[in-house]
Structure 1
Amino acid sequence: MGAKTVNKLAVPGAMLHYEVTGAGPVLLLIAGGGTDAGVFSGMVGQLAAEYTVVTYDPRGNSRSGYVGDATDETLVQAAADALALIDTVAGSEPAYVFGSSSGAITGLELITRHPERVRMLVAHEPPCTEVLPESDADDARAFFADVYETYRAEGLTAADVVFMMGTGLDDDAMPPMEDLLPEYRELAERMQANAANFYEHKLLPFTRYEPDLDALKRVADRIVPAAGLESYMHLPGRPIEVIADHLGWPVVMFPGGHGGYSSHPAPFATHLAHLLKSDTL
C-alpha cells in the first residue's frame, strides 16, 4: 500500500478535498449524506493493496467547502464532481466506483451520463424513492418532506430523530461522543457539523432523484445493485430492489446495514474486492 496523499481539486462552486492511497486501477469511493471520506477509513488500507483508492468529501461536507454561497445540490453537479476526480486521478482510464446512499445516486447519474468512464459501479442502497410503486413513493416523498419541514421548524435534533426512526438508521446509532476513539470522534464531529447542510441542500434533491432506468439497462453489465443484510428492508434499501429488477440482476448483499462499510469494514472490503475482480456479475 502506498502512502496516502491529501489533495484539493477546484470544481465549479466548490473546492473538493480528496485523498489517494495505494496503486493499481482507480477505485472511487463516494460517501453519502452528511458523511465524508473518513467513513471509508476502515476499508482503504485493505483495498489499497490492489487499487488506487480515491475518497473525497462531497461538496459542502467537511473539508470540501463551497466557493460562494451554498446552493441546493443537483445530481448533474454531483456526477460532474465525481467525473472530475476520475479524470484527475485516472486520466483516460475508466474507474471502478462504489457509492453508498446518496453516493450511490451520484454513481447512478455518473454512469448514466458518462458510461465510458465507469468500469463497474457498485450501487449500495441509493434512496431514490421515486422508483418505488406509486403509493410507496408517495409515502416516501411525504416522509422526506416531513424531515425537511421538521428541520426548518424545530431544528437539527428533532429532524435527526424523525430521519433516523423513519429510515431504520437508529440501529446504526454511534456510541456517545465521549466513548469514541479520538479519530472517530473527529469524524463524528465533522458529520454532526454537516447535518444542517445535508437537510437544507441535499436531502430532497437526492431522494427525489429519478434515475433513467432505460439508460441504466444499457449498461447493466457494469452495475452491481447492492444492499446491507441488516437494512435492505428499510426505506433507503428498498429502491435498489426495483432498480435490480429492471436491470435483470439480483441484489448483492453486503455485511452490516446502511453503513456496513464503516461498521464491518474488513468483511465489507473483502466482499467489494471480490466483486470488482469479477468485472461483471
Structure 2
Amino acid sequence: MTEPVTRTLDVPGAVLTYDVRPGPSGSPVLLLIGSPMGAAGFGTLATYFPDRTVVTYDPRGAERSRRTDGATETTPEEHADDLSRLIDAVGAGPVDVFASSGGAVNALVLVGRHPEQVRTLVAHEPPAIAALPDRETALAASRHVHEVYQRSGMGAGMAEFIRLVGHRGPVPADYTEQPGPDPAAFGLPTEDDGSRDDVLLGQNMISCTHHEHDFDALRAASTRIVVVVGAGSTGQLARRGGEAVAERIGTAPVEFPGDHGGFMGGEYGQTGEPEAFAAALRTVLADAGDRVPAQG
C-alpha cells in the first residue's frame, strides 16, 4: 500500500489532520473513522484495502487535530460537519464509510444530514444509549462516568468507563450506587493530576452517548446503512446500541468477528481479529457494488 499523505483542513473551531493512502481509481474512497480514536487506530485495517484510496483522520481535539475555539465539549453535529467538510476536501464523494464506536454515532448524523455524500455506511457498535429500552439507567451510568472524571480525575474516570463498557445486559437501577473499581487494577493512575481535558471522558462522553438520532431521516436516506456488531460483544453497551439502531431503521445487525476492537491489530495495545474483520467488511462493501451511488 502507498504511504499515507498527511494533510490539514481548517474547519470552524478546529484544524483537522487527515491521511490519504492513494489507491487505484474506480472504487469509492473508503473513509475509516472512530471517535475519539484517531487515524492511528486504523493502521492495520487500512492495509487490507490496497485496492482503495483510504482516508483516516483525527477528530477535533484528538491526537493531531487541535481545537481553536476553546470549547470543552464536542457534539456529534460538529463531528458530522467536520466529516462533511473532509469528504468535500478529498473531493471523492460519495464515499464508503466504516465508522466505529463514537465515530459511528457521528457518521449516522452525517448520513441523516448529507446522505448524498455517503454510498454505504458500515456503522460498527454505535453507543446509542438513548435508543436503549433501559435508556434512563444507561444514560445515568454514562453521566456517572463523566462526573467521576470531573470529580476525581482520569484514572478514576477511565476505570468507571471500562466498567460500564464491559457491563453485559441492561444497566440496573442501582448501578451508580455500586462501589467504583480500583484504577490500579487496570494499570491506571490512582493520583489526580488535575487535568480535565481528556477527549473521551471530558469532551465527548455525554454528547455522544446522549445523542437523540433522527431515525426518520436515516430510514429515508439514500445511503445504504449496515449496522455491524461484534461476536465477542454480546450484551455489552455498544453492541446493544448497534442493535437498537438497526431495529429503529428497520434492518438486522450483521455480526462481525471480534469484539468492540475487532478490527485492531495492536493499536493502543488492542488486538482483535483484523484479517477476518477486514474480510467481513470487504464482503459488506462488495454487496453494494451493483447499487447506484447515492445522489441525495
- Place the TM-score, normalised by the shorter chain, in its bin: 0.7 to 0.9
How far does residue 267 in structure 1 lie from its aligned partner after superposition?
Answer: 1.5
Hey, what's the Cα distance between the residues in 1 that align with 2:196 and 2:124? 21
Verify the 8 A CA contact 2:111 2:223 in the aligned structure 1.
Answer: no
Aligned to 1:29, the other structure's residue is in SS state strand
* Alpha-carbon displacement from aligned partner over 1:225-253 (angstroms, at most 9, x marks no partner): 11111114201110221221222221111
Equivalent position of 2:242 in the other structure: 240
Equivalent position of 2:139 in the other structure: 141
Hey, what's the Cα distance between the residues in 1 that align with 2:214 and 2:234? 22
Equivalent position of 1:182 in the other structure: none
One-letter amino acid matched to 1:253: E
Verify the 8 A CA contact 1:60 1:70 in the aligned structure 2.
Answer: no
Hey, what's the Cα distance between the residues in 1 that align with 2:242 and 2:197? 25
1:273 pairs with 2:289: no
Hey, what's the Cα distance between the residues in 2 that align with 1:20 and 1:84? 15
How far does residue 95 in structure 1 lie from its aligned partner after superposition?
Answer: 0.5
How far does residue 221 in structure 1 lie from its aligned partner after superposition?
Answer: 6.3
1:264 pairs with 2:273: yes
Hey, what's the Cα distance between the residues in 2 that align with 1:71 and 1:167? 23
Q: CA 1:73/1:211 → structure 2, altered by over 3 Å: closer, same or farther?
A: same
1:76 pairs with 2:77: yes
Aligned length: 257
Hey, what's the Cα distance between the residues in 1 that align with 2:197 and 2:68? 19
1:132 pairs with 2:132: yes
Q: CA 1:217/1:68 → structure 2, altered by over 3 Å: closer, same or farther?
A: closer
Ranges in structure 1 where 5+ consecutive residues have no aligned partner:
178-192
Moved more, 2-11 or 214-223: 214-223
One-letter amino acid matched to 1:38: A
Verify the 8 A CA contact 1:26 1:89 in the aligned structure 2.
Answer: no
One-letter amino acid matched to 1:81: D
Ranges in structure 2 where 5+ consecutive residues have no aligned partner:
169-185, 189-194, 265-271, 292-296
How far does residue 30 in structure 1 lie from its aligned partner after superposition?
Answer: 1.1
Verify the 8 A CA contact 2:79 2:106 in the aligned structure 1.
Answer: yes
Aligned to 2:48, the other structure's residue is in SS state helix
How far does residue 219 in structure 1 lie from its aligned partner after superposition?
Answer: 2.7
Verify the 8 A CA contact 2:115 2:223 in the aligned structure 1.
Answer: no
The structure that has the greater radius of gyration is 2
Aligned to 1:123, the other structure's residue is in SS state strand
Aligned to 2:54, the other structure's residue is in SS state strand
* Alpha-carbon displacement from aligned partner over 1:92-121 (angstroms, at most 9, x marks no partner): x30001111110001100000001111000
One-letter amino acid matched to 2:15: M
Verify the 8 A CA contact 2:167 2:237 in the aligned structure 1.
Answer: no
1:29 pairs with 2:29: no
Equivalent position of 1:226 in the other structure: 228
Query: Superposition RMSD on alpha carbons, in Å?
Result: 2.3
Hey, what's the Cα distance between the residues in 2 that align with 1:194 and 1:42? 31
Hey, what's the Cα distance between the residues in 1 that align with 2:234 and 2:120? 21
Q: CA 1:105/1:194 → structure 2, altered by over 3 Å: closer, same or farther?
A: farther
Verify the 8 A CA contact 2:7 2:18 in the aligned structure 1.
Answer: yes
Aligned to 1:246, the other structure's residue is in SS state helix
Equivalent position of 2:252 in the other structure: 250
Verify the 8 A CA contact 1:261 1:269 in the aligned structure 2.
Answer: yes
How far does residue 71 in structure 1 lie from its aligned partner after superposition?
Answer: 3.1
One-letter amino acid matched to 1:127: P
How far does residue 127 in structure 1 lie from its aligned partner after superposition?
Answer: 0.6
Report 1:117-196 matches (<5 A). Answer: 117-133=117-133, 136-168=134-166, 196=198
How far does residue 258 in structure 1 lie from its aligned partner after superposition?
Answer: 0.8
How far does residue 197 in structure 1 lie from its aligned partner after superposition?
Answer: 2.5
Q: TM-score, length-normalised on structure 1?
A: 0.86
Hey, what's the Cα distance between the residues in 1 that align with 2:196 and 2:16? 15
Q: CA 1:176/1:265 → structure 2, altered by over 3 Å: closer, same or farther?
A: farther
One-letter amino acid matched to 1:131: A
How far does residue 90 in structure 1 lie from its aligned partner after superposition?
Answer: 3.0
